Each structure stands twice: as structure tokens, then as C-alpha cells.
Amino acid sequence: MITGKNCIGGKFKATGTLEFRTIDPKKNQHNPTVFIEATKEEVNSAGELAWEAFKTYRRIPGIQRAKFLNSIADEIMALGPELLNMYMLESGLPEGRAVGERGRTIFQLRSFAELVSNDDWRGNTFDAAQPDRKPLPKDDLRKTMIPLGPVAVFGASNFPLAYSTAGGDTASALAAGCPVIVKSHPMHAGTNELVASAIVKAVEKTGMPKGVFSSINGSVQVGIDLVNHQKIKAVGFTGSIGGGRALFDLAAKREEPIPVFAEMGSINPVIMTPNAISKRGSELAKTYAGSITLGTGQFCTNPGLLLTVKGESTAAFVQELAKETIAIVPQTMLHPNIKKGYESKGGDVTSQDGVEVVGKYKGDLDANEAASVIATVSGEAFLKNPKMHQEVFGPFSIVVQCKDEMELIQIIDGLEGQLTGTLIAEKNDDLNLVGIVDSLQNRVGRIIYNGVPTGVEVCPAMQHGGPYPASTDSRFTAVGTHSIKRWVRPISYQSFPMGLLPDHLKK
Amino acid sequence: MITGKNCIGGKFKATGTLEFRTIDPKKNQHNPTVFIEATKEEVNSAGELAWEAFKTYRRIPGIQRAKFLNSIADEIMALGPELLNMYMLESGLPEGRAVGERGRTIFQLRSFAELVSNDDWRGNTFDAAQPDRKPLPKDDLRKTMIPLGPVAVFGASNFPLAYSTAGGDTASALAAGCPVIVKSHPMHAGTNELVASAIVKAVEKTGMPKGVFSSINGSVQVGIDLVNHQKIKAVGFTGSIGGGRALFDLAAKREEPIPVFAEMGSINPVIMTPNAISKRGSELAKTYAGSITLGTGQFCTNPGLLLTVKGESTAAFVQELAKETIAIVPQTMLHPNIKKGYESKGGDVTSQDGVEVVGKYKGDLDANEAASVIATVSGEAFLKNPKMHQEVFGPFSIVVQCKDEMELIQIIDGLEGQLTGTLIAEKNDDLNLVGIVDSLQNRVGRIIYNGVPTGVEVCPAMQHGGPYPASTDSRFTAVGTHSIKRWVRPISYQSFPMGLLPDHLKK
């Protein structure tokens, strides 16, 4: 069923010559399908078709776009086990995760369908005319949101469904009225093609303009051509800091710069007070061993940094955390390159002066399975060495033992921007929790109290995004219904007659 | 009273050696005060003080910030005629305009004070916990807005008060909880110093942290040092495309890129239907002659491009518009450089193939007075030559006579982004107004029906900003209370105890 071709405005095409195959990380071998990278002409064609589609798609009522999104959800479900099998084959992730992530993808599509079924999401603003105002009359002004134009979406390695072809970026952009061109992640081009075919069916069934969706395969150059295409007006990306920053730089250098929403690296600091550790250290060790190894640590909200104050309970906690973590059965990573990156970054951090490896999984490992690691270091050493701040994408966490609260706050203040920060504390804690929260909130997009950062709820109050380098634009979220705001801009209509106003501004 | 020094966190200092003086454009001579450019150390010091101030200022309740903003307004009014005289001396603008612009500045300060007197502006979002949800419980999530950090504001040449030292950018940033460092416009450093001294008094009277406001003088290098300062987290700018783009490029290249809100060039297309012209051509000629020459054409919303369909009435209208425009008494431009730019850009446009000058003011001119110009060209010639799209900052407008509606729409679709677009039409017009509005709204931030683009109301439904190059971020407005959104970002609190939540999230 899989053709290995690019999907250009509903047609599967491949005129290029560059080939690649995905990998089965469990077997550590290439999968059979040969994929063809998109040519520059194919990228251009997708861009022009998207622009043509934009002219009609932007005027299609929200209720029709909702039908389209729901139809995409239906067609994805109709793919049945074929999609789940392809997902597992290309990612090494287990069936439970495949089903769960598909469920999240469907939920997102249906949430955005519901959101745009009426026009409340536009946050319309009305200023009534004051014809008798002195010295000058005031005109009637009505403000609403309109879509930016075609959006380029880059699939995420760690979410082959929920943050890829029909994931959060695509669903929110289509909901907003923006055509989408997806650059498939080379690790799961097969999963992409199945989902793309589902979207194409939904386009046909609901009578959407053909160019509203395209999907192209390829490596770096294809991404560059896409972001540089004049008709692309915004970019969504989930991945590494290097990748996201490269796209941001490209977009900023265009003759017409365009916004890039790159959700990138994060070590998600967790502050544990000595009180919390001494009261429930064992429970915390279990909970955090689970969070650190969840999905083989391949989540952007993985807790890679634990900050606390040194002491006897802390010393015991660190040992217990290591024991619990390495007791968890290792799982396969997404790709040999990701495993390589995990080992080299982890090695880099643990080789820094003052870092001690408290525990490392020692059992046998299959080809792409990851050995979990718990390391520890003093606050003083951590403060001096920003190399310890780097994200180790995988089941890794470093516990920083500060000499006191002041050093802990100093470390928080010196951290790069983060997606999340977590505070584990007790009621009437000895530490100044208000001060910690004040520092922490200045570095992160979401603060969790007595919980874990993994698990990102899809809801309006979610903020997934934070100060750079957690994301390239901290003013927007990549998860939840508010993520639609990334793809729209305000427009005011002044003194407009009813007949020319959009329906949702007539009142 | 004017010292010529920089205001670093409330103290007037000048350790540098680079000097400059402002110009009286009416007399075409330098004004007496010698201003000293800020040194790199002074810029750094302002940045560090702003960061220190941010730590407390961000936690000051809105009601206190409102008092501060109202106090700034009071202190500006207390400057009395000294401020008005300095304004006129440095800008050549008449007293009526000085009083009017001061009124607008005060209104903006008080509007933002009112806005932040309660927390509605934060648009808080609440998702209730669902502890019994299956398969996983849902946590309580509450989202609000917090300030980004210190903001750099670049004063505008054409609004020495309303878009400069205590103008819209400063007022909205201070309201949001961000300290501000203003780089004064070199053309009105004296006006800046007076307003800065008023802000310093307000800082003292309301007990704000000293570093919450600084103002520095200087040319390009000072601006570069400011935007590159690590503690600056956003930039506001009003001015030329060249200047705004340079700041945007600098900010994008920083290790931590920061948002730049540059409100830049615009030719503000006005579409006049043949029906409207034949019914009320004379009235339109008078109205538009007034709008084109208002403030010597030195407004970002000046109507520099009139688009219509050729015909007998159009030919007569063009003549009448020229006659009415050049009948208006010329006024002094802001600065010799602005007059030079006006003449050279105007000369460039009118020397293009096919452009005919219909009318040009022929009387005597004082040193920096501007001769108004009305030119015309065919739609065919305009389509072929993007040089005709350039902004001629001053009392200049070009009328494009299209062969038909299709050519007119083609021209709209090919325009760069604009702050405004205007449609002058009749009820039951012969042209397809819906189609024109659909094209136009895709190129602009505000559409006016049967009015003029000059005159930008300060109100919630205003959108002042448009697709690039009208502004660097079309998703935000530079005018009106929503402009506060430029300086804040969302943050979510998950499972937070009441005691640690900000007051406005307790419920």
C-alpha cells in the first residue's frame, strides 16, 4: 500500500532520484519501502497549490473546516491495524503507546473541530461608533482574527502521530484556515504516508481545495526549500535545538521574515525540598524513576534535572532514585541515531568535573535499547559549568545537591528557558516556596506542584512552550486549543457596512 | 534645564565623548543644547538596573503600576509650556499638534493605567481538575500572562511624544510589568529629556524601583548595544523599513533571539470605485488632499497609493485631487534629512517609466517645507515596476488607473504588507466589493470603508500593524490596549495550592 512517494495536493508523485528507507529500531535494520525525496519543483508545486487553496480555504466557514477535521480523524481510525503496525515498525514503540498516541491525535483533531464550529475562538473585539464625540467623532471598529497563509509543519521524531502529519500543528493550522505542507520525519515516512492518505481522503470527501494539504519527504535541503518558499507564511517544528534554530534563522533571513514555532530542548528542572524528600523520599524515588524512563525518556518534558539541598535524606534519596530507575526494564529508542546521541550527550555530562554516576543500567541491551543513568553533582560545580545544562534525550537525570536555598535559587536564575519546572514541597515547607516559584516562573512555561512534568494535557489552560531555547516564541503554546493563535493575526474593520463584514462580526 | 545627559535608572549621567545637537527645522539651524551619546558601559548599566528592577517590578500589583502610569501623565502635564516649546523647536510641528499629541500621550498612559487596575487583561484560563477521569485523572490547570522582562523602546521621528519616551510602547510595557529603556530619537533628544525627567519624578513619587526606566541618547551603535544586551527581552520600534529590519536582524541573531515589534513603512492603498468617483469626486478630492497633506504627510497611515479604474470621471478626479492638494499651504518637515529623503524617494518614483506628475506645489518654500506632489500611472506600468510601491514619506500620492477590476485586484494581490487599506465605494457598487475586501484584507492590518486611513483611534478594537514590511510581527498591534500583549507570555500553574498562586488565579 505504501508508495514511497510525496503527496502533492492530493496526488502521489515522485520525480526525484534521492532515495531513503526507514529503520526498524527493534531489529536494527532498514524497512523495505524505498522513499523518494521531493525535488525543488515538487516543493514549489506544493507551495503554489497551497497558496491557491488558501484563497478559497480561508473563506470556508468554520463548521465546514470542522467537518474536514472530523473526517481526517475518521479516516485515520479507518486505517486500523495497518497504521499501528507501521507506527511500531518505524518507532520501536509498543502497541499501547501506538494506540494511546493515535487516541491523542484523534482527540486533538476533534477538539479543534469543536473549537472552530463557532467563532468564539477569534476573540472578536467591538468598539461602537461615537458620532457625537468631540473634538472628533469615533468610528465603529471591529477586530477579528484571520489566517496567516500556508503553514509548513515538520514532523517530530518522538511523536509519529500526535506531533507529526495530522498532529497538533497540522490540526490547529487547518482549523485556523491555513493550508498545510508537512515535511515528514525521515524516521517515520511510512506512518506519514498512511496518515497523508487519510487526509487526502478527507479532503475529497468534504470537498476541500486540493492544495490544502501536501506532504513531502526528504532531508535537510527539502526543509530549507520549504521554509524559503515565498508562499509559506509560518512554520511549526518539534525537535532539537539545532534543528529548530536552523529553521528559525532561515525564516528570519527571508525577504519577508515569517514566524517559526519551534518547540525544542528542555531539561525541565524539578525542585525537591529537603522536607519533601525526608517525608516521602521513597515514594518520590519510585514516581520519578517512572517519569525519567517513561517512553525511554524520549519526551520533551522529561525531568532531566533534579535540584535539591544536600543532607542525609538527600543522599539516601539519590541512591534510592538510582536503584528504582535502573530496576526498570530498558526499552528500545526511536532510532540508532537517537541512541548514539543519548550515549554521547550523557557521556559528555557525566565526564564533567564533579559529576558522579550513581546508577547505570548494567544488564544486557538489545541493539537500540537505552541504559538509564542517574548522576549527581554539587550545586557549586553545576553553577560553574553550563555543559551540565544540556539536554540528554533519553532516560537520564542529574541530581544537583546545593549547599543551601540561595545556591538553589541562583541555579534556577541561571538556567536557560525551559518548557516546565516542577516544585516538590510540603505544606509549611522550610524553604521559601514563594521565592522559588517567582524565580522558576521566569524560566519556564508551566509549573507543576507535587507532580511530574511528563504528561501534557490537551486543554485550553495548557502552556507548552517557554523562554528560549525551550521554544522560539514563548508567547504561544504548541499544545491545547490556544495553539491555534500561532497561525492567525488580527484585522480591524473600520466603519464597515454590514453586508461587507464577515458573518461573525455582524451584530 | 536640559542637561544633555543620559538618564540611567533615575540618574542623569554622561561619561561619553560623542556629542550631537538637535535641529530647529523651521530655522534650519542647530539648537543650543549639546547631548552626549551613551557609552557602552552606560547601556550595560541601564540593562543591569532594568533586570534588577524587573525582579521586584514584575511582582508589583497592577493597581500600583496604574498609579505609576497616572503619575507619569501628571508629571508630563506639569512640564507645561516648556515641553510644548521644546516639541515645536525640535520638530517644526505647530502648537495645535503639540497639544494634541500630548493629549494622546496622556490618554494612552491613563488607558493602560485603567487596563491594569484589574487583571481582566490577562485573559486567565481555568481548567478544573477531574480526579476521577479514566484512564488518567486530569490536574487543575490555570493559565495567565507574565511580563517578558526589560524592553528597549526606540523613539519615533514623527511622534516625539505619543510614540517616543512615554508613548504607546513605553506605556504598554510598563503596564505589563516590564522595565523600559528608551533610546531617544536624535531629532528630539530635548523633548525626550523633559519627558524622561517626568518619568523619573513619577518613579520617585510612587516608589518604583529605580531601574524601571532609563533613557539613553545616541546613534546607531548605541541602538545596537541596547538590542544586543542580554537582559533586554523585547524591542519596540516605529520608523523606517531599513531601521526596523536592522533591529529585527540583530535580535534574531542573538544567542537568545528576542521579539522585535517594528512598525515600519506603508503606502496604505485606497481603492476608489468609479461609481464613488463619479458620484462624489469633488468631495473625495478635497478629503484626500487633506489626508495626504496632514502633518506634511508624515504619518505611517498616509494614503500614498490610490487605486481606481480609468475613465472620464477618474481623469477629472485626478486633476481635481492635484489642484486641491497643491492648494494647501506647505508645512515644515521634521528634519532636513526627512525632507531630503522625501525629495529623493519622490523623484525616484516620478522618474519611473509611465509616471506622470499631475500636480506639484510651485510656490516659494522655506528651508524644510515640502512641496506636495500628485502623480499618476497606468495599472499596467505599476504592475511591472515594484519601485513605484516604495513609501514616499511626505505629502505625496500616486493614483494608479487600472484598465479594469481584474487588474486592480491583481495589483492588490501583488502589494507588500500594509498597515491599512481603504475602500471608497457606493452601495450596490458595480465593482465586486466582496472580492476586493477579500484580497485587501490579506495584505493589511486594518480596512476602512468610506473614510481616510489617517487618524488611528486608541481603543481595544484597533489593529495597527500588518503583514511585513508594515510591521515585523503582524500578530500584534502597536496602538490600543491590546498592544500590551506584545510584552507578555503565558504561563500555566498545574495542581497549585491556593497559597502559591498569584491572587488573580485564586478562585
pLDDT for position A202:
98
Determine what percent of chain B is predicted with pLDDT higher than 70: 100
CA A475 – CA A463 distance, rounded (Å) = 9
> Would the pLDDT of B27 be above 90?
yes
Q: Does B129 touch chain A (CB under 8 A)?
A: no
| CB interface of B with A, residues 433-472, below 8 Å | 433-434, 437-438, 441-442, 444-451, 455, 457, 459-463, 465, 467-469, 472
Cis peptide before B131 (omega within 30 of 0): no
What is the distance in angstroms between the Cα of A338 and the nearest Cα belonging to chain B? 25
Torsion angles phi and psi, residue A420, rounded to 5:
-135, 160
| CB interface of A with B, residues 58-77, below 8 Å | 58-59
| CB interface of A with B, residues 218-257, below 8 Å | 248-249, 252-253, 256-257
pLDDT for position B324:
98
Of A459, A468, A491, the CB nearest to B127: A459
The answer to whether the CB atoms of B447 and A494 lie below 8 A apart is yes
Pairing of strands B396-402, A11-13: unpaired
Nearest CA in chain A to B439: A55
Tell me the chain B residues in contact with residue A146 when contact means C-beta distances shorter than 8 Å: 441-442
> Would the pLDDT of A146 be above 90?
yes
Residue found by looking up cell 502497541 in the block: A95
Q: Which residues of A are catalytic?
A: 263, 300
Q: What confidence tens digit (pLDDT) does each residue in A298-343 have?
A: 999 999 999 999 999 999 999 999 999 999 999 999 999 999 999 9
Q: What is the mean pLDDT of residues B377-403?
A: 97
The answer to whether the CB atoms of A256 and B417 lie below 8 A apart is yes
pLDDT for position A474:
96
Q: What is the mean pLDDT of residues A370-377?
A: 98
Q: Do B196 and B12 touch, CB atoms closer than 8 A?
A: no
Q: What is the mean pLDDT of residues A405-413?
A: 97
What is the distance in angstroms between the Cα of A5 and the nearest Cα belonging to chain B? 33
Tell me the chain B residues in contact with residue A459 when contact means C-beta distances shorter than 8 Å: 127, 138, 141
Q: Do B71 and B239 touch, CB atoms closer than 8 A?
A: no
Q: What confidence tens digit (pLDDT) does each residue in B403-446 have?
A: 999 999 999 999 999 999 999 999 999 999 999 999 999 999 99
pLDDT for position B369:
97
Residues A273, A274, A276, A279: what is their CA dihedral angle, to the nearest 10 degrees?
180
CA A54 – CA A180 distance, rounded (Å) = 10
B201 pLDDT tier (thresholds 50, 70, 90): very high
> Would the pLDDT of B135 be above 90?
no
Q: Does A487 touch chain B (CB under 8 A)?
A: no
Most B-contacting residue of A126, A143, A444, A482 (CB-CB within 10 A), to test interface: A143
pLDDT for position A322:
98
> Would the pLDDT of A207 be above 90?
yes
The answer to whether the CB atoms of A142 and B461 lie below 8 A apart is yes
Q: What confidence tens digit (pLDDT) does each residue in A476-487 have?
A: 999 999 999 999
Determine what percent of chain A is predicted with pLDDT higher than 90: 98
B30 pLDDT tier (thresholds 50, 70, 90): very high
Residue type for position B254: R
SS3 B105: helix
For this complex, say whether ipTM is above 0.85: yes
Residue type for position B472: T
The answer to whether the CB atoms of A490 and B445 lie below 8 A apart is yes
pLDDT for position A135:
85
DSSP A295-306: GGG-STT---EE
**b/e per residue B448-487 (b: at least 16 CB within 10 A):** bbbbbbbebbbbbbbbbbbbbbbbbbbbbbbbbbbbbbbb
> Would the pLDDT of B1 be above 80?
no
